[in-house]
Amino acid sequence: MNGIGGVIAAVLVAGAQIAAVAVGGPLLVGVMRKVRCHIEGRVGPPIHQPLRDLRKLFSKQRMRPDQASWVFGVGPVVLVATAVLIAAISPLATTRPPLGQTADFFAIVFVLLLGSVALALAALDTGTPFGGMGSSRAMTIGALAEPALLVAILAMSIPAHTSNLPALVRIGLAHPQLIASPERFLALGSFLVVILAESGRLPVDNPSTHLELTMIHEAMVLEYAGPDLGLVILGESMRLALLLGLLVNLLIPWGIADRPGAAALVIGLGALVGKVVVAGIAIATFEVFTAKLRLFRLPELLAGAFVLAVVGAFTALVIR
C-alpha cells in the first residue's frame, strides 16, 4: 500500500505542477501585457485573454501547408511535451518532485533545446523564406545563449557539489549564505539574460512585433494556424513560466514545500505563483523602458551573459 500510495502522491504532485504551468503560463503572459498597457496609459486586454485565445484556436479546424511533411505537425507537439516533462520533474512547488533525482540542470537544458530545435525544423519544413529566416536567427541566438547557461549552471554547481535542481534548491534553503554568494548572483544574472533570449522578450525580441525584417519567433510560426498555433503559443508560455519559476526558486527558495503533504504543496504553489508574478511584472516594466536591440548587437548582450557566468564560475573555484 505504501508503494501504491507513493505512486499516487507522485502523480498528484506532477499533475499539480503541470496544471499550474499550463494554466499559469498564459495567465503570466496576460499579466505582463496588462502591466505594459497600464504603464503606457492604455487599458489593454483582460489578464485571462490568452486563455480565451487558446480556446478559440483549439476550436478551429487544423490547416497545414500542402508542401509540409510530418515534421511540421510534430514541432508544436514536441515543444509542449518537453515543457510538460520539465514541469513534472522540476522543483517548482516542492523540492521533492517525482523523478527529482533525474532533474539534472544540464539535462533540463538539453530538453529545452530539444523543443527549440523541433520548432525550428518545423519552420524550415515549409520552405518559406520567413520560416528559414526565423529558424536561422533563433538557432543563432540559441547557440550564443546555451554556453552562457551551461557555464552559469557550472557556477551554481561548484559550491553545492551537485547540478541536480531539487538538491540545489534544498541546499539554498539549508544554507542561505550560498544564495547570497557572489557566484550565485553572477550565475543567476546570466540565467536571466538567457531567459529573455530563449523566451523572445525585449531587448532580444519583441513578442508583439509583426515587422518582417525584425521578426525572430513570429517568423517561425507564420504558417501555423488553429490547434497547431495554439500548441505553439501554449508551449512558449509554459517555457516562460518554467524558466521564471526555476529562477525565483534558485534565488528565493523560501515558500517552496520541503516536506510531503497536501497543505505544504498548496503553500508551495501559492509561493510559486506569487514569486513568478513579481518576476513577470519586473520584466514587463523593464520592457516598457527598453528597445529591441539590432540583430548584430545581440552577440554583445549574450557575450556579456557568458562573461558573467565565467566570472561566477571562477569566483566559485577561487572561494571554495
- CA–CA separation, 195 vs 198, rounded Å? 5
**In the chain, pLDDT over 90 holds for what percent of residues?**
66
Read off the C-alpha cell for 82: 518537453
pLDDT in the model for residue 319: 74
68, pLDDT greater than 90: no
Cβ-contact 129, 223 below 8 angstroms: no
- CA–CA separation, 64 vs 80, rounded Å? 18
pLDDT in the model for residue 186: 93
Domain range spanning residue 101?
2-319
- What CA–CA distances, in Å, run from 190 to 181, 186, 193, 320? 15, 6, 5, 20
Read off the C-alpha cell for 228: 497547431
pLDDT in tens, 247-262: 999 999 999 998 888 8
- Helices 182-198 and 298-319 pack at an angle, to 10 degrees, of 150
19 or 202, which is more confident?
19
CA 131-195-148 angle, to 5 degrees, is 95
Number of domains the chain contains: 1
The model's confidence at residue 113, banded by pLDDT at 50, 70 and 90, is very high
101, pLDDT greater than 90: no
